[in-house]
């Protein structure tokens, strides 16, 4: 008995000092990947009219653009983070130096406007610049474009998507509900295109290298419709005007927003490693050279980017409390580098507004902050949420080229991951597509000194 007591006391002391050490860590660097905030629906009422005979409410704004409410909510998030930075003595008082903060966004107006709203509130009167490519169309870093040109990969993706769509009871439940809400049988899309039941397997897949993976048919219709419903809810439309009053309770919203989760799994998780490779390369380079990077990096993109990052890095799946979306609008994946002056540690948190906070639009405070959960990596030896930094950057998901070359000689299992690494790095030659990229890439790596 005495032995058990001594062991218990010893473990309590160890736990106490671990907690004490964790509390004494200093925040060294932060990288935030944010989804844009509340926007207008991506499909306007005129286009949606084909899916039902019922009149759609009109939202006065450019499709897909950040709404005034979205800008206001993002400003609240900026103030919240400014307070967190101040609590941890992360940045000097006043405006940050030019080399302390770097912000980069996709080319979409909603991502640029989200970053601007965040910065104007986090660093008032400081004019911190927002960087982005000055191009028409999407930035390849953020765009969910297909890269793999091999027939074998294409066939695998097609088969996997078909499997995920068929016999999907969660998806079918939502589609049946949408059939009733829209009364699809009376719609133009039924009369003209023969889509009279959204549960029928009439989806078609477009897989084209350099373009987005598209699933046309009932799944696309359902996504456009639910996007309109959800954004109408976030933007504050009366409940009676959303889905013609057919989605009122939280239980019903939870049931209907399952569509988004299933859609992410079907379209983006299937090809996460392929479409997410450019962004993973950016993160890999950033984390491996973090000592030479700004203290704060803010990237603003989309929910499918967050899906790729969390999938490719091996984060444990989570259900976010007080939210129905998998990657809520305005949510942020916050990579934090902490130090005790001898060793560095990684902590990752997902900071996001709750379902009701998005609806109500109230300012965050210490008593009513945004939601926050610790994200844990499947492969990290530490299960408390503080991963040793060296273990983090030496993992296969973030491995550098030099380490990869060394591991190649002893770990044959890396060849699969190496095939993806090859396709999105400079060792992929312009002639690679004649043979498939892999042989040229392997030769390029072996030739590197």
* Catalytically active residues, by annotation: 36, 303
Instruction: Find residue 204's DSSP bridge partners.
Output: 216
Alpha helices in 264-302 (DSSP H): 272-275, 277-288
Structure tokens of 16? 């106490």
Instruction: Identify whether the C-beta of residue 40 lies closer than 8 Å to the C-beta of residue 63.
Output: yes
Question: Residue 204: left (phi > 0), alpha (psi -120 to 50), or beta?
Answer: beta
C-alpha–C-alpha distance, residues 41 and 50, integer Å: 16
Which residues, 6 or more positions from 314, have their beta carbon under 8 angstroms from its beta carbon? 377, 378, 379, 395, 397
Q: How far apart are alpha carbons 91 and 82 in whole angstroms?
A: 9
Whole-number Å distance between alpha carbons of 413 and 417: 8
Query: 154: exposed, middle or buried (C-beta count within 10 Å: 0-12, 13-18, 19+)?
Result: middle
Distance CA 127, CA 96 (A): 10
DSSP, res 319: -
For the chain, the straight-line distance linking the first and the last C-alpha, in angstroms and rounded, comes to 62
* SS3 label, residue 353: coil
Task: Establish how many alpha carbons lie within 13 A of residue 129's alpha carbon, considering only the half-sphere containing its beta carbon.
Answer: 7
DSSP code, position 361: -
DSSP 41: -
Best CA proximity match to 145, nearest among 208, 206, 211: 211
- Given the DSSP bridges, would you call strands 296-301 and 101-105 parallel, antiparallel or unpaired? parallel
3-state secondary structure of 327: coil
Which residues fall within 8 angstroms of residue 260, CB to CB, at 6 or more apart? 223, 226, 230, 325, 326
**Is the Cβ–Cβ distance between 358 and 329 less than 8 Å?**
yes
CA atoms within 13 A on the CB side of 372: 15
């Amino acid at each position: 008995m005495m032995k058990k007591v001594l062991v218990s006391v010893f473990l309590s002391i160890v736990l106490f000092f671990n907690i004490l050490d964790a509390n004494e860590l200093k925040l060294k660097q932060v990288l935030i990947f944010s989804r844009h905030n509340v926007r207008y629906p991506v499909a306007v009422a005129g286009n949606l009219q084909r899916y039902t005979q019922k009149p759609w409410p009109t939202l006065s704004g450019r499709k897909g653009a950040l709404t005034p409410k979205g800008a206001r909510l993002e400003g609240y998030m900026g103030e919240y983070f400014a307070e967190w930075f101040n609590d941890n003595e992360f940045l000097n008082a006043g405006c940050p130096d030019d080399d302390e903060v770097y912000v980069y966004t996709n080319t979409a107006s909603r991502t640029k406007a989200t970053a601007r709203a965040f910065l104007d509130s986090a660093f008032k009167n400081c004019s911190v610049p927002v960087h982005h490519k000055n191009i028409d169309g999407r930035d390849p870093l953020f765009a969910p474009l297909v890269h793999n040109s091999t027939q074998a990969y294409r066939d695998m993706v097609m088969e996997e998507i078909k499997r995920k769509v068929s016999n999907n009871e969660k998806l079918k439940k939502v589609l049946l509900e949408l059939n009733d809400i829209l009364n699809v049988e009376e719609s133009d899309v039924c009369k003209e295109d023969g889509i009279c039941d959204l549960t029928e397997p009439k989806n078609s897949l477009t897989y084209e290298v350099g373009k987005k993976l598209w699933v046309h048919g009932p799944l696309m219709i359902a996504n456009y419709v639910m996007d309109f419903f959800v954004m109408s809810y976030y933007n504050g439309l009366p409940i009676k005007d959303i889905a013609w009053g057919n989605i009122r309770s939280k239980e019903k919203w939870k049931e209907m927003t399952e569509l988004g989760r299933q859609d992410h799994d079907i379209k983006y998780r299937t090809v996460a490693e392929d479409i997410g490779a450019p962004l993973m390369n950016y993160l890999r380079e950033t984390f491996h050279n973090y000592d030479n990077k700004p203290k704060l990096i803010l990237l603003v993109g989309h929910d499918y980017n967050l899906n790729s990052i969390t999938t490719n890095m091996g984060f444990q799946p989570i259900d976010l409390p007080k939210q129905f979306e998998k990657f809520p609008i305005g949510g942020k994946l916050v990579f934090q580098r902490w130090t005790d002056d001898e060793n560095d540690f990684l902590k990752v948190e997902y900071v996001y507004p709750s379902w009701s906070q998005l609806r109500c639009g109230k300012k965050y405070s210490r008593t009513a902050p945004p939601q926050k959960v610790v994200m844990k990596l499947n492969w990290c030896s530490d299960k408390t949420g503080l991963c040793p930094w060296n273990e983090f950057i030496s993992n296969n998901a973030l491995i550098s080229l030099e380490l990869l070359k060394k591991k190649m000689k002893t770990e044959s299992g890396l060849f699969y991951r190496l095939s993806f690494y090859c396709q999105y790095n400079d060792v992929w030659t312009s002639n690679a597509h004649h043979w498939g990229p892999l042989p040229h890439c392997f030769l390029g790596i072996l030739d590197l000194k």
